[in-house]
Structures are given as C-alpha cells and as structure tokens.
Structure 1
Amino acid sequence: MPRPSVAELRPVVHPEGVKDRRSGEHWAGRLYMREVSLRIDRHLVGTRVTPNQLTYLMTFFGVLAAPALLVPGIPGAVLGLIAVQLYLLLDCVDGEVARWKKQFSLGGVYLDRVGAYLCDAAVLVGLGLRASDPWGTGRIDWLWAFLGTLAALGAVLIKAETDLVGVARHQGGLPPVKEAASEPRSSGVALVRRAAAALRFHRLVLGIEASMLIFVLAVIDAARGDLFFTRLGTAVLAAIALVQTLLHLVSIMASSRLK
C-alpha cells in the first residue's frame, strides 16, 4: 500500500484537542515534535510494528539517558539529551500509530505511564551520578548520587500523586476527574499554585527539561573546568522535587478531585 501523506495522517493521528490537552501534551510536542513524528508515522503505519512495541522502544531510550549522562563532559550531556529527545519522539509516535491503526489497549496506556516514570527518574539519577564525578576521582561522591536519586524519587512521586487520584476515584466508584475539579478550593492554595505555574520551576524535574538543563550546565562547567554548576543544579533539582511533591499533594487535597 502507498504510504499516506502527512496531510492524510494529520486529521486522524492529531484529532482536535490532542495538542491542547492541559496535562497530556508536553510543550515540546506542541512546539516541534508532533511535526517530526508525523514524518516518522508515514513509514510505520503500513508495517507490522505495533504501538506497544514502539512504547517499549520509547522506554528503552528514556532509561538510556542515565548511562549516557555518565559519559564525562559535553558529549555525555549531548547523548543524554538525544536519548530523551528520542524518548519524546516515540512517545508521540506510539499514540499516533495507535490512532491510525485503531490499536488501543489499557496495556498501552499503562506502559506509556511506566515509560514516563522511568525516563524522568533515569535522567535525574544520571545527573546525580554525573555530579559525583566517578571517572575524575576514581570513586563516587555519594552526596551527589543521593541528591540525584532524591530528585528522581520526588519526580516519580509527583506523577504518582496525580495518577493515584484516578485510582482513588475508581475505587470509590466515582467517574474520572473533570478539569475544573483540579482547581483548589482555598484561595491561598490557588494563589500559590498560580505562582508556581507562572514560574514553571517545577517542570525542571521532568526528564525533557532536566536533560536540557544538564546540557547547559555541562557547557558552563566545560568552560570553568569543573563540575560546580552540575552539582549546584543537582542540589537545586532535589530541592525543587521535594518542595513540589509536598505542594502538589496539598494542591490535590485542597481541590475537588477527591470529592
């Protein structure tokens, strides 16, 4: 069969609302990756490749970011960034291929969430190990490895807090949460949430943003000849993850999502 054109693919794999999802679409997907993924889709929708196989590959690249970041200097940061960009590309492609082939499954949704958890954790663990400079000193400075792991734990918990809302509502016999229910009932909590959303500092613990930050820090450290900014970034991301975990939990409890 002839490959479908981008124009033929777009209305099917990018139905109305896909790019506008508040919590389901990353800014990088809207900005550029959805256009790249369309070009990849053309070569896959006519093959026997399944959406779940693409999700497994997506997860592989996300996890690959951790060992990639262990390569010293700018090359390691570049490899980590590339691994995460490939993760993002496949995160777009698997759903688009599923829409075109009409191959949907709860297993696919589950695998996609697992991949998101693992990618975020891998990048932050990789950052902590990178900051510990195992190749430069011959031993791991466990403080930085611990802080990176702490940041990874926070990033995973933030996602879990969101996902567990759906679990709690299902077990309580309630329908899925509506978008309006995420707004805090307390004006004070709502103000804090709006401030955090405006600053967007919380996004730095996500794998895509973190990998970009790591690259910038690597360039600065290469000019300095040390790991000062990589280590500073590790400590800052650990602090952001801990604060955001607490604030996100308070925001959920203060909203109507569990009502």
Structure 2
Amino acid sequence: MSKPSVADVRAAGQPPGLKSRRNEEHWAGRLYMRDLSPYVSTGFVRLRVPPNPITYLMIAAGVLGGAALAFGGLWSAILTALLIQVYLLLDCCDGEVARYTGRTSVAGVFLDRIGHYLAEIALLIGLGIRAQGEWEAGGWVVAGMAAALGAALIKAETDNVVVARVKAGLGQEMPESAAQPRSSLLGTARRIASSVGFHRIIGAVELSLLALAAAVIDMILGDLTATRILTVACVAVAALQTVLHLVSIMASRRLH
C-alpha cells in the first residue's frame, strides 16, 4: 500500500457512481477535479498521511480563502480563487485516501461537513468586509454576515433532516423520490429553481469565481460597485433559499 499507482488509488478512491451523485458531488469535481485529485491522493497515500489531516488542510484552505477575500485589490481575489481550488482538491482527496486505505470514519464525515460550513461562512464574511472598503464595522460587513448566516442555516436544514430521521428511528437512508415535494406545483417550482441554479452563487467555488470577476470589474470602474452588487445578491439568495429550502423539506417525504 506504500507504493500504489495512480490507477490503484483512482479505482478504490472513486468507486462507480461517485461522479453521478448529483446532490453531493460538485460540478467542478465531475468536470475536472476528480481527474486531477487521484495524483495528489496517491502522494498522500505514499506518504502515509491519514484522511483527517487532509480534511484539516481543506478547512484551512477554505478559511484562508475567506480571509484573503477581505482585502482589497485584484490580487486578493485571485488568491481566494486559487485557495478555493485547493480546498476543492483536498475535499476530493480526503475521501479518496479514506476509501483507498479503508479509514473512513464518522469523525471524517463530521469534519468534512464542518469544513464546508466554515469555508462558505468565511467567504461571505470576507466579501462583506471587501464591499465595505475598509477594516471598519458597517452595513456591508453586516450584509456579509447576514448572507453567511443564511448559508449556514441552509446547510443546517439539510443536515437536520438526517438528525430528525435518526432520532425518530426512521434511519438515515432515503429513496431519491423522498426529496420530491408531495405537491405537483411545488415539485415544478423546485425543478425550475434547480435548473436556474441561482442558489449556487453562495457556494464556495462559485462565489470565489464571481468575486474574482467582480474584482476585475471594480478595477476597471475604479470603485466597488460590482463587489457590492454581488454582496446584495448573496444576501438575497441566502435569505430566499433559507425559506425555500425549508418549505421544500417540509413539503417532501424526507421526514416521513
């Protein structure tokens, strides 16, 4: 196991169906990162690095990405985008190493979830500070914190479905059909919202790229207009998605 090939790690670390997990596998993972990650995962395996330290590195990359975004200028947005790509890479690697070495654990799942919470919260707060234009409390900082709260609540809603089912003795596993709203009208609305994908702008990868695009526009315009528009959009999406996601859960069979 000390000298596995990339093909060995890919075969064990990316079991059939991994890329098709639409609700769990990020589009960037399916598009390119899962093609790159086995090379890095193989290095971790050869160095005998356990999965959880890789997850800690993932968390650090995500939080540092948010911290970098808080600074003004184009360079900080570029650094943020790069750090979030590292975050995504490590997010792929920790699971691949865990599966290859047979060291999957409840603690690993927990740390992975916490990492996603922290990365999105850090990025949204960093965006608010960036939109403020200075290191002082103000309305834009509050806006970033409000968006971060919404992002955390959305994840908490998802995670608490599992908590509620386990506490009620229903078990964690659910058929895919359970996510569909019992109302056909709500089902149609859910499909439309999913196809539009507006909720993705508060995701770590998407937000880092949008913040970079906003930084380029700000540099051209000579102000913070684009960053502030993005901040307002994040607040609106976080608030709307918090409510819509809760309605979607309550209207589905996930709690039955």
TM-score, reference length from structure 1? 0.95
Give the total of aligned pairs: 255
Unmatched runs of 5 consecutive residues or more in structure 1: none
For residue 186 of structure 1, report the CA deviation from its aligned partner.
0.8
Any unmatched runs of 5+ in structure 2? none
Specify the SS of the correspondent of 2:46: coil
* 1:188 paired residue number: 185
Aligned counterpart in structure 1 of residue 236 of structure 2, from 234, 239, 244: 239
Counterpart contact for 1:52–1:108, Cα < 8 Å: yes
Identity %: 50
Question: Matches of 1:9 and 1:56 in 2, distance apart?
Answer: 21
3-state DSSP of counterpart to 1:45: helix
Aligned to 2:119: 119
1:104-115 correspondence to structure 2 within 5 Å: 104-115=104-115
Alpha-carbon offset, residue 174 of structure 1: 0.2
More displaced 10-residue stretch of structure 1: 232-241 or 67-76 = 67-76
Alignment of 1:19-168 (within 5 A): 19-134=19-134, 140=136, 142-168=138-164
CA distance in 2, matches of 1:108, 1:146: 32
Report the Cα offset of residue 141 of structure 1. 5.5
The answer as to 2:170 corresponding to 1:174 is yes
In 2, Cα distance between equivalents of 1:189 and 1:247: 10
How far does residue 59 in structure 1 lie from its aligned partner after superposition?
0.4
Which deviations, in whole Å up to 9, do the C-alpha atoms of 1:158-186 show, x marking residues without a partner?
11101100000000000222221000011
Residue 71 of structure 1 deviates from its aligned partner by: 2.5
In structure 2, what is the Cα distance between the partners aligned to 1:153 and 1:188? Answer: 29
1:126-157 CA distances to partner (integer Å, 9 max, x unpaired)?
000000011xxxx5261111111111111111
Note if contact 2:70-2:128 (Cα within 8 Å) is conserved in structure 1. no
Which letter maps to 1:154? G
Which whole-Å CA distance do the structure 2 matches of 1:108 and 1:123 have between them? 23
- Structure 1 stretches of 4+ moved >3 Å: none
* Aligned residues of 1:59 and 1:115 also touching (Cα < 8 A): yes
Q: Displacement of 1:2 after TM fit?
A: 6.5
Output the CA distance in 1 between the equivalents of 2:209 and 2:175: 32
Task: Work out the CA distance in 1 between the residues paired with 2:157 and 2:177.
Answer: 18
Q: Please give the root-mean-square deviation of Cα atoms over the aligned residues, in Å.
A: 1.2
Bigger Cα displacement from structure 2, 144-153 vs 65-74:
65-74
Partner of 2:12: 12
C-alpha distance in 2, partners of 1:200/1:183?
A: 17
Give me the whole-angstrom Cα distance separating, in 1, the residues matched to 2:69 and 2:11: 38
CA contact (8 A) 1:51 1:103 kept: yes
Letter of the 2:99 counterpart = R
Partner of 1:201: 198
2:247 to 238, 245, 250: 250
Residue type matched to 1:168 in 2? A
Contact 2:2 2:47 in 1 (8 A): no
